[in-house]
Chains A and B, each alone.
Chain A
Amino acid sequence: MGLKVPHTTNYLTEHFGDDGFVSLKGYEAQGGYEAARKALTRMQPEKLIELVKDSGLQGRGGAGFPTGLKWSFMPKDEDRPRFLVCNADESEPGSFKDRILLERGPHQLIEGILIAAWAVGAEKTFLYIRGEYSEPARVMQQAIAEAGESGYLGQGAMGTNFSHEVVLVRGGGAYICGEETGLLESLEGKKGQPRKKPPYPAEFGAFGMPTTVNNVETFCHVPHIVRRGAEWFRGIGTEKSPGTTIFGVSGHVVRPGLYELPLGTSLEQIVFGHAGGVPGGREIKGVIPGGMSMPILPAAELDVPMANESLRERQTMLGTGGIMVMDDTTCMVRVGCVIAHFFRDESCGQCTQCREGTGWMEKILNRIERGAGEEGDLEILLDVSAKMEGATICAFADAAAWPIQGLLRHFRDDFEMHLRHHRCPFHEGFRL
Chain B
Amino acid sequence: MTVRITVDGAAYEVEEGRTLLQALDDLGVLMNGVEVPHYCWHPKLSIDGSCRLCQVEVEGVPKLQIACDTRVTDGMVVHTKSERVRKAREGVMELLLVNHPLDCPICDQAGECKLQDYAFEYGVQHSRSREPRRALEKRVELGPTIVLDQERCILCRRCVRFCREVPGTGELVVENRGDRSVIAAFPGAPLDNDYSMNVADICPVGALTTKDFRFKMRVWFLDELPGVCTGCSAGCNIHAGVANNRVYRYVPRRNDAVNETWICDAGRMSYREIGSASRIHHPQVRGADGRLTAAGLGDALAVAAARLRAAIEGGGAEAVAVLASPHATNEDLLALRRFLAALGAPPESAGVAVPTGASDDLLLREEKAANAFGARALGFGGADAVIERVRSGAARVLLALGHDILAPAHLRGDVSALALLDGVILLDTHRSALERIAHVVFPARHALEKLGTLTNAAGRVQRVQPVVEPAFAAWSEGEILLRLGEALALPGFEEPAAWDPHAVSKSLGEELPAFAGIDVDSVGHEGLPLRGESA
Which residues of A are interface residues toward B (Cβ below 8 A)? Answer: 174, 191, 196, 344-353, 355-360, 363-364, 367, 376, 380, 384, 387, 390-393
Contacts and interface: CB of A to CB of B under 8 A. Distances in A.
Contacts of B132: 363
A176 to B, nearest CB: 8
B92 A352 contact: yes
Task: Determine which residue in A174, A359, A364 has the highest number of CB atoms from chain B within 10 A of its CB, and name it.
Answer: A359
A392 B52 contact: yes
A347 B179 contact: yes
- The range of chain B's interface size is 20 to 34
B69 interface: yes
Contacts of B52: 351-353, 391-392
A174 B178 CA distance: 11
A360 B91 CA distance: 13
Majority secondary structure, B binding face: loop
11 contacts: A174-B177, A196-B69, A349-B178, A353-B92, A353-B95, A355-B179, A358-B179, A360-B98, A363-B132, A376-B128, A380-B128
Interface in B85-139: 88, 91-92, 94-96, 98-99, 128-129, 131-132, 134
A357 B131 CA distance: 12
B99 A359 contact: yes
A363 B47 CA distance: 32
A296 to B, nearest CB: 24
Nearest to A192: B177
B185 to A, nearest CB: 16
A390 B50 CA distance: 13
B55 A363 contact: no
Given A357-B95, A387-B92, 10 more contacts: A349-B177, A349-B180, A349-B181, A351-B50, A353-B52, A356-B98, A359-B178, A359-B179, A360-B129, A392-B52
Given A347-B177, A348-B178, A360-B95, A355 B49 contact: no
A387 B91 CA distance: 6
Contacts of B179: 344, 347, 349, 355-356, 358-359
Given A191-B177, A345-B178, A355-B155, A391 B95 contact: no
B309 to A, nearest CB: 74
A356 B96 contact: yes
A367 B129 CA distance: 12
Contacts of A356: 95-96, 98-99, 179
A180 B111 CA distance: 42
B64 interface: yes
A355 B178 contact: yes
Contacts of A384: 95
A211 B49 CA distance: 23
A391 B85 CA distance: 12
Interface string B149-188: 0000011000000000000000000101111110000000
A353 B154 CA distance: 12
B63 interface: yes
Given A391-B55, A392-B52, A360 B178 contact: no
B131 A364 contact: yes
B51 interface: yes
Contact of A358 (B63, B69, B178): B178
A359 B181 CA distance: 13
A355 to B, nearest CB: 5
Q: Which are the 7 A-B pairs with shortest beta-carbon distances? A: A387-B91, A363-B131, A356-B95, A347-B178, A349-B181, A350-B50, A349-B178
B64 A355 contact: no
B482 interface: no
Contact of B181 (A355, A357, A376, A392): A355
B49 A196 contact: yes
A148 B98 CA distance: 54
B88 A391 contact: yes
Nearest to A380: B128
A391 B69 CA distance: 13
Contacts of B63: 390-391
A357 B179 CA distance: 10
Contacts of A360: 95, 98, 129, 131
Nearest to A366: B131
A174 B179 CA distance: 14
A392 B178 CA distance: 14
B49 A359 contact: no
A349 B174 contact: yes
